[in-house]
Amino acid sequence: MQRTEKSKILLIYTGGTIGMSRNFETGALEPFNFNNIAQHIPELKQIPVKITIFEFEQIIDSSEMNVEYWQKIADKIFAEYQGYDGFVVLHGTDTMAYTGSALSFMLQNLTKPIILTGSQLPVGDLRTDAKENLISSIYFASLKNELGESQIQEVAIYFEYKLYRANRATKINANHFDAFDSPNFPPLGESGITMEVNEHLLLKKKPSQELKYYRDMSSQVMLIKIFPGMQEEILLHLLESSKIQCLLVEAYGSGNIFNYPKFFKALEKKINKGMYIIILSQCVGGSVSLGKYGSSKKWQQIGAISGKNMTTEAALVKSMHLLAKAENHTNFKLDFTKNLFGECFE
């Protein structure tokens, strides 16, 4: 494993805390010209790679992230793909796992890394985590193997000394530097005295496959989280919408839910008319196992789909991708249950 001075990294800034500086008179966070990032992190000049910075004309808070902005990010990477050895996307933390998951389905058969990172504190703060996150992300993005190929060939998130597969990561903490975790899959790498990569965990492109870009994503999805005392009438009202093609339900434990006869009868009718129902777990770790308990057998009876051990973020954007990809949805259930890009177990 090595780095080479010939590595070219495109640094894409979308917004977020990492691109802010604090006005010490007012205490407010204010965006700065990201092309001047080297003034805030002079250590970047010591990294033996060529860094090109691209800042979107409209930078946004990550809470404003949407399909159209995912497409802007993916468009830029796809357009510049041949000219760079790796890509680092600077992004707000709140929706980073959604964006990372989306890019893993939109840009398929990667031979180069796309690494998302950000920070909990702005770059100018005394105790900022921005410097380490950015510097290490660039290091990981520039790693090569003995054949001169990129060591990492997938979409990843780097945060607080750990590199995660993006479609396995989720934000777990709003106040600590270790904001992300990958509960059901080990880290791809860690930053310590040396940069360690768990090579056996990395995705590898098949030699015969070329980069494919699936730009379209369907927004006709809905996510609900059940809770004790949830009213059946409200659930029935939700199902009246004709715009929902796929309903994702965060159930209890391994897929358990209350017994509401009218609700399940309505769900079965919707499934028969072409809607997909995907069952996820509210638990951070573990997996959905429909039929393990009597309260989850109802899902099997009506033809719901298990989300296995996928994160909510990955399951949501995977459904958006598959709905947009298929002209007819005959393969949706089969494709959703497949492990396409490391997002779940088989």
Q: Is 297 in contact with 256 (CB distance < 8 Å)?
A: no
Task: Give the alpha-carbon dihedral of 101, 102, 106, 108, to 10 degrees.
Answer: 0
Whole-angstrom distance, CA of residue 219 vs CA of residue 235: 20
Element (H, E) at 290: none
Whole-angstrom distance, CA of residue 251 vs CA of residue 282: 6
- Residue with structure tokens 């090569």? 144
Handedness of CA 167, 303, 268, 329 (dihedral sign): positive
Query: What are the structure tokens assigned to 28, written together?
Result: 């407010």
DSSP state, residue 93: S
Q: In what order do the strands lie in the sheet with 114-117?
A: 50-55, 8-13, 86-90, 114-117, 155-159, 162-165, 189-191, 195-197
* CA proximity to 201, closest of 237, 246, 153: 153
Rounded to the nearest 5 degrees, what angle is found at the Cα of 35, between the Cα atoms of 103 and 194? 65
Whole-angstrom distance, CA of residue 345 vs CA of residue 19: 36
Q: Which residues are catalytic?
A: 17
* CA proximity to 99, closest of 61, 136, 130: 61
* CA proximity to 319, closest of 227, 94, 311, 240: 311
